[in-house]
Amino acid sequence: MSFYMLEIGTEEIPASFINPAADYLKNKTSEELEKNRIKFNSIISGGTPRRLYLYIDGIEDKQADLKEEIVGPPANIAFDENGNLTKAGIGFAKSRGLDIASLKKVTTEKGEYLAGIKQVAGEETTKILPDLIVKIIRNIPFPKSMKWGTKKFRFARPVHWFLSIYNGDILPFEIDGIKASNYTYGHRFMAREKIIISNFDDYKTKLNNAFVIIDFEERKKIINDALNSFGNVVIDEELLNTVTNLVEYPHPVMGHFPEDFLKLPKEVLVTSMKSHQKYFYVVDDNGKITNKFVGISNTKPKDDSLIRTGYERVLKARLNDAMFFFENDKKIPLSERVEQLKSVIYQEKLGTSYEKMQRFRKIANYLAMALNPSAKETTDRAAYLCKGDLMTEMVYEFPELQGIMGREYALIQGENEIVAKAIYEHYLPRFAGDDLPETDEGSFVSIADKIDTIVGCFIIGLIPSGNNDPYALRRNAIGIINIILNKNYKLDLNDLINVAMENYKEKLKFDQDEILKLVREFILTRSKQIAHSQYGVRSDIFDAVTNNFSDIVVMFNAAKALNEVREKDDFIILSTSYKRISNILKKNNWEITDYNPELFKEEAEKELHSLMINKGKEIEDYINKEDFDKAINVLLEFREPVDKFFDNVLVMDKDENIKNNRLSLLASLRNIFNKVGDLSYIN
């Protein structure tokens, strides 16, 4: 067994590109080796800003031999009546290089055919690997790639060298004039010399000595340990991962900024440090942000002061800008900013951002009146002001602070604290796992804004497909559902959609019934996903309740209750009987539920009728109280009487009146079942 290692030397690759590219190198190489019958023990891959690498341990020096069965002409053509090969049979063997002794008859779906075994000897790995590696390198998927100079080869950043070693020797290949070699380079500034490599241990050791730590986890641990040593550094995992891929030889440096900047809102300081400068901020023992920060340098100087001064200068300039924006923004009330939204096009067919605000303001007021009338005034004010900060200089410069700056400016300008909080909360949740609004006002405005976006986009045909969802309608739908569930709002989904559609009637022409159907299905599809991922509810169980209820909270409670009994024998048998009932009624196109008990002849149908009278109302009462567990337990009492009915009663009686009466009995029974859910959906 042998080893193979590859390094792709580049200019600085964006941090977010590195780990996915390294994973692709590993996974694709493994896939291609297996496809080419080349065995190996293990593969590792990784990267730094200036290189991607791959190491294959225990790779076989030769492909595995292949035995391939090749099917030829039909047997009646390949053999004569005496069982000897015909010219056609012999010709087939010669054309395919088959040994006559390996020929035989095989039976296929089309009949008997002539076939033979072809032995294919495995090639040497060193003959196969170069083309395979070139193919993999050319196809590494990057979010963005580029050409450079006169080269046609595309990559994330310009490639300067390939290191390619098989068992200590160069394994040659070439891409656009860049030839593979057995050397690499160390740190761009601290070790520029060419480094000859013989094996992977040699590679790691020599690069480490040349100020390059190739392992992502090792670099990350060095940074994490250093940050912890400073004390009270807030270590953001996302930032830590980013910074780890920005450096080859991490060196932490603590800096300070003037305390006057602490007058800025915390989020402005954090955004300036984290998002723009990739610095970690520091808090005091009470968790309050301080004027200290830690940056991670890619070089280890003799004296940190030069790097520290540079870090502090750049951050001070950015904070000076932020302070200028902050002071300017405070001079103009948010209410005046709102009026400026009239000049901002939200979407060509859906109007301005001001028009959008007025639409979801109406929806938010509807929600407040339906769910918490005492919050109507504060809800209306929050809805009116919540987009005002989009017109501020701070949000123009730092878009990620939308909502946050609206809250801060509202508080500074004397708005109610609930209103200010709702301005921020209406953007929540911004991503999976994000916080949800705490206030009713924030919840109402958030739901309203999101449902307006969804309905408006559906009306003008901007419906998500595949990865195309420019207005984040899927995320908006999931946000609506999670807010409703979190706040336990009793809210009719159909009514919510209809209220949102009302705002568009004068401006746009559309089929209300069709839009209602499409938007409802869109939101329920996301609801089904949430029910499965958060509560373990099977998709078929959720489908069983979607036609019965329009209240999302009720829908989820019903689905969860059904999900709890899905494996019980009585429920499985009962749901099977339900499907039988539905099939009988469908076959006879029967919907009438009125029946005459005096026409019952069999004891089993009389007993079933009696149970329906006694228990049907009880189930309905439990459903109205939303006690689905008790409703389902009562429903399970129907299992034996229904079985007895089908065992002893012939539904399709020769007497037409008796037959029709029994069909109506079953239709009425199905209606009782349907109060819990349409069990025909359940597998």
Answer yes or no: do 497 and 368 share one domain: yes
Does the pLDDT value for residue 658 go beyond 90? yes
The angle subtended at Cα 188 by Cα 185 and Cα 194, nearest 5°, is 25
Cis preceding linkage at 429, omega within 30:
yes
- Residue 548: per-residue pLDDT: 85
For residues 290 and 282, give the distance between their C-alpha atoms in angstroms, rounded to a whole number. 6
Per-residue tokens: 311? 């870090």
Query: How much is the average pLDDT of 522-534?
Result: 96
Answer yes or no: do 235 and 277 share one domain: yes
**Is the backbone of residue 280 left (phi > 0), alpha (psi -120 to 50) or beta?**
beta
In a domain, 543, yes or no: no
What confidence category does residue 85 fall into, taking pLDDT thresholds of 50, 70 and 90? confident
- % of the chain exceeding 90 in pLDDT: 84
Answer yes or no: do 596 and 583 share one domain: yes
Query: How much is the average pLDDT of 365-378?
Result: 98
Answer yes or no: do 666 and 590 share one domain: yes
What confidence category does residue 103 fall into, taking pLDDT thresholds of 50, 70 and 90? confident
pLDDT tens digits for range 628-654 = 999 999 999 999 999 999 999 999 999
Total domains in the fold of the chain: 5
Answer yes or no: do 407 and 508 share one domain: yes
| 403 touches 389 (CB < 8 A) | yes
In a domain, 542, yes or no: no
Q: Pick from 501, 535, 569: which residue ends a domain?
A: 535
Contacts (Cβ under 8 Å, ≥6 apart) of 250: 213, 219, 222, 223, 226, 243, 244, 296, 297, 298
- Residue 665: domain span: 558-681
Q: Pick from 287, 313, 330: which residue ends a domain?
A: 330
Smallest CA-to-CA distance from 386 within 425, 347, 349 is with: 425
Does the pLDDT value for residue 659 go beyond 90? yes
Q: Pick from 330, 354, 374: which residue ends a domain?
A: 330
Helix (H, G, I), strand (E, B) or coil at 68: strand
- Residue 114: per-residue pLDDT: 85
- Residue 245: per-residue pLDDT: 98
Does the pLDDT value for residue 90 go beyond 90? no
Answer yes or no: do 321 and 356 share one domain: no
- Residue 92: per-residue pLDDT: 86
Does the pLDDT value for residue 379 go beyond 80? yes
308 or 120, higher pLDDT: 308
Answer yes or no: do 13 and 81 share one domain: no
In a domain, 410, yes or no: yes
- Residue 302: per-residue pLDDT: 86
Contacts (Cβ under 8 Å, ≥6 apart) of 467: none
Measured in degrees and rounded to the nearest 5, phi and psi for residue 183 equal: -130, 160
Per-residue tokens: 522? 């869109």
> Is the entire prediction scored with pTM above 0.85?
no
In a domain, 430, yes or no: yes
Answer yes or no: do 116 and 174 share one domain: no
- Residue 17: per-residue pLDDT: 98
Answer yes or no: do 497 and 563 share one domain: no
Does the pLDDT value for residue 102 go beyond 80? no
DSSP state of 198: -
Determine how β-strand 51-59 pairs with β-strand 2-10. Answer: antiparallel
Answer yes or no: do 11 and 32 share one domain: yes
In a domain, 247, yes or no: yes
| CA dist 250 → 138, 213, 295, 312, 602 (Å) | 30, 9, 10, 18, 86
Answer yes or no: do 138 and 271 share one domain: no
In a domain, 419, yes or no: yes
466 or 430, higher pLDDT: 430
Does the pLDDT value for residue 76 go beyond 90? no
Query: How much is the average pLDDT of 245-260?
Result: 97
Per-residue tokens: 490? 């009793």
Helix (H, G, I), strand (E, B) or coil at 415: coil
Smallest CA-to-CA distance from 613 within 677, 676, 673, 669 is with: 669
Q: How far apart are the first and last CA of the chain?
A: 52
Answer yes or no: do 588 and 649 share one domain: yes
Contacts made by residues 394-401, CB under 8 angstroms, sequence distance 24+ = 394/268, 394/322, 394/325, 394/326, 394/329, 397/321, 397/322, 397/325, 398/268, 398/271, 398/272, 398/275, 398/322, 400/271, 400/275, 401/267, 401/268, 401/271
Cα 422 vs. chain centroid, distance in angstroms? 27
Query: How much is the average pLDDT of 431-438?
Result: 94
In a domain, 493, yes or no: yes
